[in-house]
Amino acid sequence: MKTPEPADSQFAPSIPDPLSPLFATQPQLAVPLSYLRTVDGVLQIGGKSMQQIADLLSQQRFYAYDRQAISMKIHQLRSKMPAQLKLHYAIKANPYLPVVQHVGTLVDGFDVASQGELLLALQTGMQALQISFAGPGKTDTELLAAMTAGCCVHVESAGELQRLCGIATQSGQTATIALRVNPEFELKAAGMKMAGGAKAFGIDQQQVFELLPKLAAMPVKLVGFHLYCGSQNLQAEAILQTQQQIIHLLQQLLPLCPASLQFVNLGGGLGVPYYTSDRAVDLELLAAGWTQLFEQLPADLQHLEFILELGRYLVAEAGVYACKVVDIKQSHAQTFVVCNGGMHHHLANSGNFGQVIRRNYPVAFADKLDQPLVAPVQVAGPLCTPLDVLADKIQLPQAAVGDWFVVFQSGAYGATASPQAFLGHGAVAEILL
């Protein structure tokens, strides 16, 4: 396990500041982008301009992730976390190996949701016991692989438990497991709710009570519980309230467990600001809430390790998607800026990855961050579908063919969450600098 560096490490002076050059020159991007740097109006990722990155990659469309921005973000969070609270990274947010490898040096464990992610996690050198495998629909092959690797299987249903027991018996192993609980309560204000009511995720609270007394007779070792209630939540109060409810539920579950538990995964759900109306999670409020939570922790829970599992919060703000303007055209008095990349590389930005209403991500011309904004334009990608929107009615500086167009907050749910084969334009490159 890694110990976080103290808060006064080299990254501390760069903690988000709403007066950073980027924020100040792009007032319409009312989200803090100051994890990234600019030099004379030119965006830098790992100290390189978009053109320099393109030259490095020999690619005209790419995701670029800033190593220091990831470190900064994680240090900033860890400096607010009490010692009993551990941090896991949910690999699905960004499974690009160099990113996973880097994040792995800054967190205590990984959460994986497929055999592919499991293999990735193992190959970073992360200890198997710090890797948890959750997710519905795990196949027998995946269960066997997880058990063989020695990682913790987060069981999502009674049927899955039964299959796991069969595989354990057959292969002469004992499976290390956690039960993922679908609690009666839900996470308020979450962008995506994943608990409370009928869900594909976790075992209904009531069924867990019935299952626990039967575990002693099964070839499994229960080491924890997992409660993941939702995603993309910007409300510290709602997150804290859910964590309180989890602790309350645990007190009822613990006496029924066959052996002493090791951990409780509290989920996470901390969101990042994507849209103008979004405000970053209030870390001070979270920190104060956590201090209180752990000070008042019931005696029977004090031996437990608590885990926060986060995906986008750790990496989203460290990445941009970059593509180039290839055409500028007028249609019915509207200006269209047409780029060589779009929704096939960045589905979420096009508004088709779970959003109810499409809103613009923060975007810019990467080399014109200090130039004045002109009349609003439409920014479109190269796909033959009206869904391929990069930005709608957005004010940008005067566009020119060859400009680098960038979408910020793109370090999570980008390349692997997009239909890259759609229309045959080719896959997108990635780089961590």
Which residues are at the interface with ligand PLP (CB under 6 A)? Answer: 90, 92-93, 111, 134, 228, 231-232, 268, 309-313, 412
Would the CA dihedral through 113, 318, 341, 98 be positive or negative?
Answer: negative
Least distance from ligand PLP to the Cβ atom of residue 293, Å:
20
Contact between 178 and 155 under an 8 Å Cβ cutoff? The reply is yes
> Smallest distance from the beta carbon of 319 to ligand PLP, in angstroms?
13
Which is closer to ligand PLP, CB of 48 or CB of 92?
92
Q: Which is nearer to ligand PLP, 218 or 286 (CB)?
A: 286
Between residues 69 and 93, which has the closer beta carbon with respect to ligand PLP? 93
C-beta of 230 vs 382, nearer to ligand PLP:
230
Nearer to ligand PLP, 79 or 232 (CB): 232
Choice between 201 and 405, CB closer to ligand PLP = 201
Smallest gap, in angstroms, from Cβ of residue 312 to ligand PLP? 4
**How many beta carbons lie within 10 A of that of residue 83, not counting itself?**
6
**Region of residue 238 (left: phi > 0; alpha: psi -120 to 50; beta: else):** alpha
Shortest Å distance, C-beta 227 to ligand PLP: 10
User: Residue type at 344?
Assistant: H
Distance of CA 177 to the CA centre of its chain: 23
State which residue has the least CB distance to ligand PLP: 311
CA pair distance 70, 310, nearest whole angstrom: 13
Q: What is the DSSP string of 192-215?
A: EE-SSSS-SSSEEHHHHHHHGGGG
State the Cα–Cα distance between residues 294 and 83, nearest whole angstrom. Answer: 9
Q: Are 178 and 223 in contact (CB under 8 A)?
A: yes
Give least dist CB 398 to ligand PLP, A: 36
Minimum Å gap between C-beta 2 and ligand PLP is 19
CB of 87 vs ligand PLP, minimal distance in Å? 12
Q: In terms of CB distance, is 90 or 380 closer to ligand PLP?
A: 90
Q: Which of 92/344 has CB closer to ligand PLP?
A: 92
Shortest Å distance, C-beta 271 to ligand PLP: 7
**In whole angstroms, what is the distance from residue 392 CA to residue 402 CA?**
20
- The secondary structure of 243-290, three-state, reads HHHHHHHHHHHHHHCCCCCCEEEEEECECCCCCCCCCCCCHHHHHHHH
- How far apart are alpha carbons 101 and 98 in whole angstroms? 5
Angle among Cα 137, 347, 27 to the nearest 5 degrees reads 130
* Token pair recorded at residue 189: 């204000």
